[in-house]
Structure 1
Amino acid sequence: MLALSVEDIRTDVNLADKNAVIQALAQWLEQEGHVASGYQAGMLAREAKIATYLGQGIAIPHGTQECRHLIKKTGIKVLHLPQGVEWGGGEIAYLVLCIAARSDEHLDILKQLATTLSQGDLPTRIKAITQPQQILQLLQNTPALTPTPTITSELLRVEHIQTQLTLNSLLALTESAMTLMPCTVAEQARLKQTPSIHIGQGWWLSQNPADDGHTKAALVTPYTNSELMTQQPPVRGLLMLVIADLSHKVLLDQLLVWLKTEQGAELAAITQAHRLLAALQNGPPVNTSVSERVEQAAIVRNTHGIHARPGAILVQVAKQYAADVRVRNQDGDGQWVSAKSLMKMISLGTKSGHQLLFSAAGKDADLAVAALVNAVEQGLGETLPPLNGDIHADIEQQASPANEYDVTSSVAASLSAAASGSSNAPAAPASLTVPLQSPLAANTELTGVSAAGGIAIGPIFVDAPPQFNYLKQADDVSVERAALAAAISLARSDLAATQAQSNDEQGRNMLAMHRELLADSSLSFGVHKLINEGLSAAAAWWSETDTAATRQAANTDALLAERAADIRDVGRRVMAILCQSPVITPPDHPYIWVAQDIGPSQLVNLDPQRVLGIVTVSGGAFSHSAILASALGIPALAAVNETVMSLRSGTDAILNGDQGSLRINPDPQTLEQAQQQHQQTQQDAEQAWALRRLPAITEDQHSIEVGANLSGVNDASRVVMSGSDGVGLLRTEFVFMSQHSAPNLATQTALYRRLFDDLEGRPLLVRTLDVGGDKPLPYWPVAKEDNPFLGVRGIRLCMQRPELLATQIRALLTAANDRPVRIMFPMITDISEWRWAKRLVNEIQDEIKATQVELGIMIEVPAAALNAAVFAKEVDFFSIGTNDLTQYTLAIDRGNGEVAHLADALHPSVLQLIKMTVDAAHAQGKWVGVCGELAADTQALPVLLGLGIDKLSVSLKRVALIKEQVRRANFGACQQLAARALLAEDAPSVRRLLEKSV
C-alpha cells in the first residue's frame, strides 16, 4: 500500500490561486515519474466538472478517468498553504493532497484522511503547522473521543406502561413519557408539537433541546405486543430525549445496537423497568448457547450464488418469523450477519457451492431455520443446475435478472466513500454532477467515429446522470430524520405502484428487490448515525449509499459487484425526493439519444421508432451499441468529445453517421442541405427496395449471397420481405440476454422453430452463445478479468458450461427438422476447440438425425486466419467477424473511445488476413462469408468482392442496398482494386483508393 512520507510534503507554500497549486502539484508528480505530461490538464478538467474541496480546509485534486492512462505509478504529494487558497464556492483550502492512483494503493491514506476530517477546528490547526512531520501526525493520529457521562437511572426513566394498542398508541406513549420527566412548560410544548421519528423495528424517537441545562430521558414500552396491531410501522417503544449535553449519546447508541442486530422486538418484550435499563447497558445477547439456538447448514447451488434477488427472497422468508435469525458463509469470512438484512446477506459473497449456516433463537426458531434451509434447497426462485453434470440436461427457467445500469465510480467517488464517516458530507461523485452549459454556437460541429451510417435530424436527449444539490450539514436532527423517513416511504410507495402496473416479470422482480433494499435496517442505521453527527438527511443518505455501493462494486465476483448498480439506483431514487430533483425520462417524441455509454442490456428494449440516432462518448465503430444501432438502421456516432454531455436536451442537431459528425444548432442553410441529403438517401433506399428480390449478381455475372444479421427472433418475419437470401448471422446472445434466465430446451426450440418457419426454406446461420467481454449474462458467473476481451469468452466460456451449449445445439437441430441450418462457433483460436465443439454436435446429431447441417467457425482471432489452411480441411465454411478481427489484429479495444478512430477494418493487415482465409477455404472447396460491419460498408464492398468473399450478411435495412450495389459492380474490376488495396500502406490509403475508383 502507498505510504506518505515527509518527502511527499511541502510546508509553508505561498501560491496565488488554485490553478497555480494544481500546476505545482502536477509538475512535482511528473518530475518524480508518477505521471506523464498532460496530467495537469486532466486535473483542471476535473475541477471544471466539480470542485475537489473535501472540507475542513482540505482539497484533494486529481485527474479525470480519461487521463488515468497517464499515471505511471501511484503517488501522492501534499502542499501546506497557511495563507489559504480559494478553492471554489467560497471555500478556502489550507492543505492540498494530490493523488495519482493506478489502483487501490492509496485507500489507506484516504481512510486516514476521513478520520482526520472528524477532528474539530481543523483549519486553525492546519494553518499553525510548520513542519512536514506535523502533517503526518495530523493524518495518522486518531482524535480522542470526548468522554460521555454514564447512563444512570437518574438520567433515564423507564416504564412498561399499561396502554391499549390503538392507532393512537404512539400518542399514549408520548404522554406517558412526558409524565416521567421533570420538563419545563416550554419543553413540554415542544415535545407535543414535534412528531416522533420511526428509527426501526417499531422503535420511535422524540427529541428536543433543554431549557434548564439538564438532559432528561424516558423510555416507555406498551403492555401488549405491538405486532398484533394493524398500524404500520408498528409501535414497540419510544425513547424521549430533552438534550442539554452529550450524555444522551451512549443511550441512543445502545438502543441502536439492539436495532442493528435485529433484536428491537426482544428489547421491547422486557416487562420490568430495571431489567430494561440493564439490557440497554449490557447490550443484546450475542453468545447464546448452542442448546438455546437452532442451527442448520445448507449448500448453495444457485448458478451465481446469493446475489440480490435470491438474497431478497431469503430475507423475506426470515422476516416471517419473530426469531432472531443469523447466517454466516462457512466458506467466506465466517462472520455472523442478520438474515433479515438484504445488505448484510449479499455482503457475504456467497457463491455456488458455498455452505450457509443458519442460526436462530426464539419461540419459532426451528420453523425459521427449516424454512430458510428449504428455501435454499428449492433454489430461491431459480432453477438449480443438474447435479450429474449431464451435458444434455435441460436448463430450466431461472429467476429474473434486473436491467443494470453501468455506473463507473471515479476517484472522486472513492474519496467520497472513504470520507463517509466525516462530519462534512462528501460532495457527490463526479459521475453524478454533469453541469448543463449554455447552448453551443450555431452550426457547431462535433466529430467522432462513424458507428452506423445514415442521417438523423431532430432534438437531442442527453441521458446524463442526475445532479443533486443539497446542504451538507443541518441543525435539527429530528427534522432530517423525518425528511429521510418520508422520502424512503414515498420511494417505496412509488416502487410498489410501478411494480403493480408492470406486466414484465423481470421488471417486477427488480422493483421488489429495490423495495427490499430501501427497507434494509443496516443501511438506515448508518444514515441515522451520520444524521446524529450533524449531517443533513441528503448528505447522510448519499454518503452511506455511495459507500455501500463502492464496497459492493469491489466484490471479486463480477455479478455480485454489479449489484452496486441496484444500490446506487435506490440511492438516487431517494436523493431525487430529498433534493426535489425531477426524474429525467426520455421524451415522448423522436430524439437523438446522447449518452456517456449505452450497454447491451439497455439496447435490448430500445424503441427504433422513437430513437432517431445514437451518440456516445465512449465506444467505437465495433462496440455492441454500434452493432445493434446498425442492425436497427439507426445512425450512430461514437467516441465523441465529452462536451456533448453538457448540451441541453431539446437542442436541434444533425447526426451524420456516414461522415462521423454531429452538428449542433444548425443554421437554416445547413439544415436544408441535410434534409435534401436525407431525402436522397431515402430515395436511393426506396429504389433498392423496389428491386430487392432480384439476385445479387454483378454485371459480369459473378453471383454472391446476401443474408441478414439478426439479434433475436422478433424480426424473423421481415427476412423474406427484405429480399434476403436467408439469415447470415443470428446473434443468440441477445436472445439469452432478453430472457429472464437461460432459456431451456423447450423455449429455445420454439424460438428457433419460429425462425425456420418464417424463412420459408432459406438457410439459417447461427452463431452459438457468445458472451463474455462486454456482454456478461446476469445469470452466468463470470469473474472479473483485467482484460475480458482476451479472457474467458465465446467458445472458451461454453467449454466451461457445456450443458448450455448442448441445449442450444439440441434446440437448433430439433427446430430445423431437415431445413438448412448453419452453425458456427465464436472465438475459435485452436484446432482442439473446434474439434471439441464438433464432437458435441455430432453426438446430438446422431440422436436427432438432422440432415441439412453445416458446421463452421468464425474467423475473429488472427491465429485462426493464419492457420486457416488447417481448419479448412475440417470445417464446412468460414464466417469472418471483421469487428473482432480488426480489434485483435490492430490491438485496439473497440470500446475505447480514445483509440476507436484507429479501428478501421480496411487496414491492409486485416485485408491480408481475409485474403489468406479465402484462399485456404477455396483450396478445399469451402465458402467464406463476412458478417461483421465491414460487410455493410458500401465503400468497402468492391474490395470484399475482389478478395473472393462468397457471402455477405448485413442488417435487414441494408440488404436491398447492398444487393443493388453488387448488381452495379464489375467483378473483374473489383479483383484489380482488391489487389491494389492489399499493397496499400495503411487504412486511409485504402479509403483514398476506393474514393478514386467510384
Structure 2
Amino acid sequence: MIIIAGPLAGWVTPLDEVPDPVFADRMLGDGVAIDPTDGRLVAPGDGTIESVHPAGHAVTIALDAGPVLLLHVGLDTVALDGEGFTPGVKAGDRVATGDLLVTIDLDAVGRRARSLVTPVVVTNGDAFAIEEPAAPGVIAAGAPLFVLRPTGAAAVPAVAKAMPEAERTLALPLAHGLHARPAARIAALAAETGAADLVTADGRTASAKSAVAMLALALRHGDMVTVRGDTAAVSAIAELLETGMGEHRAVAAPMPAAPVTLPDRLTGIAAVPGLAIGPAFRLRTTAIAVREEGQSPALERQALGAARFKVRKALEEVARRAGDGAGIAAAHLAFLDDPEVSAAAERTIDAGKSAGFAWRAAIEGFVAPLLASADRRFAERIDDLRDLEHRVLAALDGGAAAAPALPEAAILVADDLLPSQLMALDTRPAGIALARGGATSHVAIIAAGMGVPMTIGLGPALGLVEDGTDLILADGALTIAPSAAVMAATRADADARAVRRKAAEARAHEPAVTTDGIAIEVVANLGSAADARAAVAAGAEGCGLLRTEFLFLDRAQPPGEAEQRAAYQAIADALGPRPLIVRTLDIGADKPAPWLALAAEENPALGLRGIRLQLARRDLLETQLRALLGVRTEGALSIMLPMVADRAELSAVRALLVRLADDAGVALPALGIMVETPAAALTAASLAEDAAFFSIGSNDLSQYALARDRTNPAVAAGLDGLHPAVLRLIDETVRGGAIHGRWTGVCGGLASVPEAVPVLLGLGVTELSVPPAAVAEIKALVRGLDMGRCRGAARAALIAPDADTVRALSRPLMEDAA
C-alpha cells in the first residue's frame, strides 16, 4: 500500500463534485480534490518532478513508489499567466514528502480564478487503485489523503514505432497554451482515432494519448507544434487544435482605441544622442509572401540550402570588415547555422511544405517563446531572428529588393528597423526616428558606429508623419513641421556647432585646462581595439571605461582567459602610454548573454547583474581577473567594478585580486568602483577606504535615483541626469572620496552633455570619460571655463528646484566659454 499525503491544507472534496468535467469525469485519472486554506503546495511523497506548467498552477510528480500524480491548483487558473504562483521547483528536481513545490497567493488567485479547488489525480491509474480516501472535511498538509493499491496490471511492452503516415505543423492557437483541459480532449480524441505524437520545435515528443505527457511539453500560445502519426489521428487532432478549442486569443478589445493624432513634438529615448535636421523619409517594408505547399522535399531542401548559402556569403563578407557590423554579422551567422533552426525547417519541408513556409515556421518557433516571455531583455534578439527570416526569404524570392533611394540629409522614419535594412542603405541618413526599437539593439549599435543620431520609442503617432515633412531630431525629441523661423534658428545653431567642432578638432591633442589653471582629464569610453585607435586619434588622454561585454555577448560560450587577454592587450597596445580603466563583466538586466542561463526576473535592473552576478559566478570573475593581470601596458592599468552597493562586495573582489596577483607575481592594479547606485553614493566615504577611485555611471544612477526605467519609453523621456537629486548623489560621492584622497570621474552619458560639464567640474569631478567623437568638443569647453564660477553654479544647482533651473545656471558659463 502506498500512502499519498495531502499536498495542501484545506477541505477534502470528492472529485465528482469538482465543477469541471475534465476532472469530474476522470478524463485525466482518478483522485481526490482539496479546497485550500493555505498557500503552500507541498510534495505528497518522495519522487521526481516531471513538469511544472509555465503558469505555475500545475505540477506533475513521479513518486518513487510508481504513481504519477498531477496536482492542479484551481480551475481556469492557467488564464492568470502565473500571477499569484511562485514555483519552487523545476522539472527534474528530486523532492521529499512535504517539500515546498509552489507558493500560492490565495487572495490574488481567489479573486480571479473560477475556483481554488485543487484536484490531486493519479494519471497512471491502470496500475493503481484508490482506497481509503479521506472523508470530506478539514485536512492538514501531510495528512493521509488516500491510499493506492497496485493492481498488478502489466506495463504495455514498448514496440518499435512505424514511420508516421501523416504530419501537420501549426502555431498553437490556444490562448493559454496546452493546459489540462485541451490536453484531456486531445487524449480522448487520440484514443478514438489512432496513435499520434505532438512534437515541439526543439524536438521534444509526447504521445497524444497521454494528457500528462502533453502537459510536460509546456507549450505556449504561438509555439510551433507538429502532429505526427496515423492519418486519421493527425487530421482530427490538428483540426481540433486549429479550432482554438474555444480559447482563441482575442484580436481586438471591444472598446474603440483612442484616436492617434500628430502633435508638434514627440519624445522618446535617445539611443544615439545628437542633432539632425531634414525631411522625413518613411521606410516601408513589404512582407514577403510564401506559398505553403512544396513541390518535393528534395527540391525544397535544395532551394533553402541555396538561399542560406547566399545569405551566409553576404554575412561572411560583412564579418570580415572592422567595426560594429562585423560582430553583428558573426552573431547572425551563428543563428543562420543553428542546428535546431535547421532541423525544424527540414521537418516542415518533409511534411510537404515549401522552403519559404518552412523557414518562416522555424523562425517563428523560436520567436514565439521570446514574445511570450515577460523578460523584456530578450525582445531585441527577436529583431535578429526576424532579420534572418527576411534575408533568407528574400534570397528564396530571387534576391533582396533594391535598397530604397534615401534622399540626401533625410531623417529615416519607420515603425522599427532591421540591421540589414540599415546596412543596405546607399546613403547615410541624417538621423533615425523609430516608433518602437531598443536602446541596446543591434540597429542602435550600428547607428552609433555610423555617427547617426537615433531616437526610439516615439510611439504610434510617428506613423502619421508623411514623407517630406521637415523634422528636427535632437537628443530624444522629434519636432514635427517646425516653423521656418525655428528651422532657420536650428540650422544656424547646427552650423555654429560645426564651426566649433572643427576648431575643437584642430586642438584635440592639447590638454584640457580651465582658464584658472585646473587640469581636467578627458578620456574615452571604449568597447574594442578599433574604438581605442579612434579615441587616440580624437585626442583622448586614455580610457576611462572599457566595456568588456563586447567579448561575452552574442556567442555560445564565454571567452577563455587567453582570448580575453589577447583582446585586452590589443586595446592596451592601441592606447600606448595612456591609462586604461577596465570595467569587469557587466551583464544581466538589458544585456543578456545566450550562454548564461539566468532565470526571468520581474525587474532585471534590480536583479542579478554587475558585481552581484560576478560574485555568484566567481569562475567568470576569476578568469577575467587572471586575463587582466597578464596584460602588459605602457600606461597604468586599473580595474573597475560595476553596480557596487555594499562594501562587502568590494572587499570580496579585492581579496580575490590580491591572491591572484600574488600567484602571478605581478603588481596589484588599482581597484575602483562604478558609482551607479544611490547606496554607493551615500556610503562613498566608507567605500573609499577600499576603492582607489570612483567613476560615476550617470545613466544607472539617474534611473535608480529618479525611479525611471531608462529602457522604458513610457517614462525614460523624463530621465535627466541634471536633476538636483542626482547632482546631490554626485556631490556626496566626490566629498566622500576626497576624505581618503580618492578622485572621482564620470563615465556615463552626462559627461558628454555640454550643459552638465560646468556643474560636474564645480562639484569636484576631475575626469570626464566620453565617446571618442565627443572628446575634442568637451576638451574645448573645459578650456573656456573658470573653475570659480563653476563651483558657484554647482552650489546653486544642489538647491535648485529642477533640472531646467540647473541648465539655466550652466548656460551663461557655456556661452562665455564658446
Q: Kindly tell me: are residues 457 and 282 of structure 1, through their superposed partners in 2, closer, same or farther at Cα, counting changes over 3 Å?
A: closer
**TM, length-normalised to structure 2:** 0.61
Hey, what's the Cα distance between the residues in 2 that align with 1:825 and 1:716?
20
Identity in percent: 34
Shift in Å, 1:334 = 6.6
- Conservation of the 8 A alpha-carbon contact between 2:556 and 2:594: no
8 Å CA contact 1:857, 1:878 repeated in 2: yes
Secondary structure at the counterpart of residue 510 of structure 2 = coil
Aligned position for 1:714: 530
Whether 2:676 is the aligned partner of 1:860: answer yes
Partner in structure 1 of residue 462 of structure 2: 644
* Pair 1:935-2:751 in alignment: yes
Equivalenced residues, count: 603
Q: Distance in 2 between matches of 1:939 and 1:285?
A: 68
Q: Quick check: 2:554–2:593 contact (8 Å CA) kept in 1?
A: no
Give 1 or 2 for the bigger CA radius of gyration: 1
1:481 paired residue number: 293
3-state SS of 1:730 partner:
strand
Residue 274 of structure 2: aligned partner: 454
- Inter-CA distance 575–914: structure 2 relative to 1 (3 Å threshold): same
CA drift of 1:635 comes to 2.4
CA distance in 2, matches of 1:943, 1:557: 37
Shift of 1:905: 0.8
CA RMSD across the alignment? 5.5
| Deviations 1:93-117 (CA, angstroms, capped at 9, x unpaired) | xxxxxxxx985789xxxxxxxxxxx
Secondary structure in 1 aligned to 2:768? strand
Please give the alpha-carbon distance, in whole angstroms, between the structure 2 residues aligned to 1:484 and 1:898. 49
Partner residue in 1 for 2:587: 771
Q: 1:427, 1:541 → 2: CA distance?
A: 25
**Greater mean alpha carbon deviation, residues 480-489 or residues 537-546:** 537-546
Question: For the Cα contact (< 8 Å) 1:557–1:783, is it kept in 2?
Answer: no
Rounded Cα–Cα distance in structure 2 between residues aligned with 1:483 and 1:428: 35
| Cα separation, 2, equivalents of 1:102 and 1:651 | 46
The structural deviation recorded for 1:481 is 2.9
- 604 and 830 in structure 1: CA distance in 2 versus 1, 3 angstrom threshold: farther
> Residue 243 of structure 2 aligns with which residue?
421
After superposition, what is the alpha-carbon deviation per residue over 1:531-570, rounded to whole angstroms, capped at 9, x for unaligned? xxxxxx9999989986885356547999999987787677
Question: Does the aligned pair in 1 maintain the 2:748–2:769 contact within 8 Å?
Answer: yes
Is contact 1:768-1:824 (8 Å) kept? yes
* Alpha-carbon distance change, 632 to 558 in structure 1, aligned in 2, over 3 angstroms: closer
Deviation at 1:849, TM superposition (A): 3.3
Go from structure 1 to structure 2 and tell me whether the alpha carbon gap of 1:451 and 1:868 turns closer, same or farther (over 3 Å shift).
same
Instruction: Tell me the residue number matched to 2:347.
Output: 521
Change (3 A) 1:422 1:917: closer
Does residue 508 of the first structure (1) align with residue 333 of the second (2)?
Answer: yes
Asked whether 1:801 is paired with 2:621, we answer no
With over 3 angstroms needed to count, the CA separation of the structure-2 counterparts of 1:926 and 1:985, relative to structure 1, is same
- 1:951 Cα shift? 0.6
What amino acid sits opposite 1:788 in the alignment? Answer: P
Report the Cα offset of residue 929 of structure 1.
Answer: 0.5
After TM superposition, list the pairs within 5 Å mapping 1:901-920 onto structure 2: 901-920=717-736
Q: Is contact 2:583-2:639 (8 Å) kept?
A: yes
Could you say if the C-alpha distance between residues 710 and 614 of structure 1 is closer, same or farther in structure 2, counting changes exceeding 3 Å? farther
Structure-1-length-normalised TM-score: 0.51
SS in 2 for 1:721: helix
Give the C-alpha shift of residue 936 in structure 1: 0.6
After superposition, the C-alpha distances for 1:378-422 in whole angstroms (9 at most, x for unaligned) are xxxxxxxxxxxxxxxxxxxxxxxxxxxxxxxxxxxxxxx998435
Matches of 2:248 and 2:347, distance apart in 1: 22
**Distance in 1 between the 2:365 and 2:712 partners?**
28
**2:453 match:** 635
Task: Give 2:568's match in structure 1, choosing from 747, 752, 767.
Answer: 752
Which residue in the other structure is 1:781 paired with?
597
| Deviation string, structure 1 residues 744-763 (Cα, Å, up to 9, x no partner) | 22222121111111112110
Q: Which of 689, 695, 698 is matched with 2:505 structurally?
A: 689
Q: Do 1:337 and 1:344's aligned partners in 2 also have CA atoms closer than 8 Å?
A: no
| Structure 1 pair 815–577 and aligned structure 2 pair: CA distance change class (3 A) | closer
Change (3 A) 1:555 1:991: closer
Given that 1:451 and 1:638 are in contact with CA atoms closer than 8 Å, whether structure 2 keeps it comes out as yes
Cα deviation, 1:685-722, whole Å, max 9, x if unaligned, reads: 01011111221111111111110111222121122221
Measure the CA separation in 2 of the matches of 1:759 and 1:663. Answer: 43
Q: Deviations over 1:747-782 (max 9, x none)?
A: 221211111111121101111111111111122112
Residue 677 of structure 1 pairs with residue 493 of structure 2? yes
2:705 corresponds to: 889
The equivalent of 2:478 in structure 1 is: 661
Distance 1:967 1:778, change over 3 A: same
Change (3 A) 1:908 1:570: closer
Residue 312 of structure 2 aligns with an amino acid whose one-letter code is Q
Question: Is 1:494 aligned to residue 312 of structure 2?
Answer: no
Specify the code of the residue in structure 2 equivalent to 1:614. Answer: I
2:525 match: secondary structure: strand
Does the C-alpha gap of structure 1 residues 552 and 832 become closer, same or farther in structure 2, counting only changes over 3 Å? same
Instruction: State the alpha-carbon separation in 2 of the partners of residues 622 and 990 from structure 1.
Output: 29
SS at match of 2:578: coil
1:255 equivalenced with 2:77 (yes/no): no
Q: Deviations over 1:643-697 (max 9, x none)?
A: 224556x646544325833445x78876665544333221110101111122111
Deviation at 1:838, TM superposition (A): 1.4
How many angstroms apart in 2 are the aligned matches of 1:932 and 1:793?
18
- Tell me, what secondary structure is at the counterpart of 1:898? helix
Residues 462 and 777 of structure 1: CA distance in aligned 2, closer, same or farther (over 3 Å): farther
Change (3 A) 1:922 1:567: closer
Alpha-carbon separation, structure 2, partners of 1:418 and 1:327: 17
Shift of 1:634: 3.4
Question: Partner of 1:872 in structure 2?
Answer: 688
CA distance in 1, matches of 2:310, 2:193: 43
Whether the 8 Å contact between 1:733 and 1:771 is mirrored in structure 2 is: yes
Structure 2 counterpart of 1:481, which letter? E
How has the CA–CA distance of structure 1 residues 570 and 993 changed in structure 2, closer, same or farther, with 3 Å as cutoff?
closer
Structure 2 regions of 5+ residues with no counterpart?
Answer: 1-18, 20-78, 85-113, 115-161, 171-191, 227-238, 253-258, 320-329
Give the Å deviation of 1:642: 2.3
CA contact (8 A) 2:380 2:441 kept: no
Deviation at 1:943, TM superposition (A): 0.5
CA shift for structure 1 position 846: 1.5
For residues 604 and 469 of structure 1, the distance between their equivalents in structure 2, rounded to whole angstroms, comes to 22
Instruction: Give me the whole-angstrom Cα distance separating, in 2, the residues matched to 1:918 and 1:506.
Output: 41
Question: Which of 742, 746, 749 lines up with 2:558 in the alignment?
Answer: 742
**Closer, same or farther in 2 for the Cα pair 1:545/1:972, shift >3 Å?**
closer
1:900-955 CA-partner distances (Å, limit 9, x unpaired): 22211111111111111100101100110000111111111110011000111011
Distance 1:891 1:669, change over 3 A: closer
**Contact persistence 1:558–1:782 (CA under 8 A):** no
Partner in structure 2 of residue 948 of structure 1: 764
2:271 & 2:378 partners in 1: Cα distance? 32
SS in 2 for 1:781: coil
Deviations 1:579-612 (A, max 9, x none): 999869676787645455679x999999999354
Distance in 2 of aligned mates of 1:428 and 1:345: 17
Q: For residue 337 of structure 1, report the CA deviation from its aligned partner.
A: 11
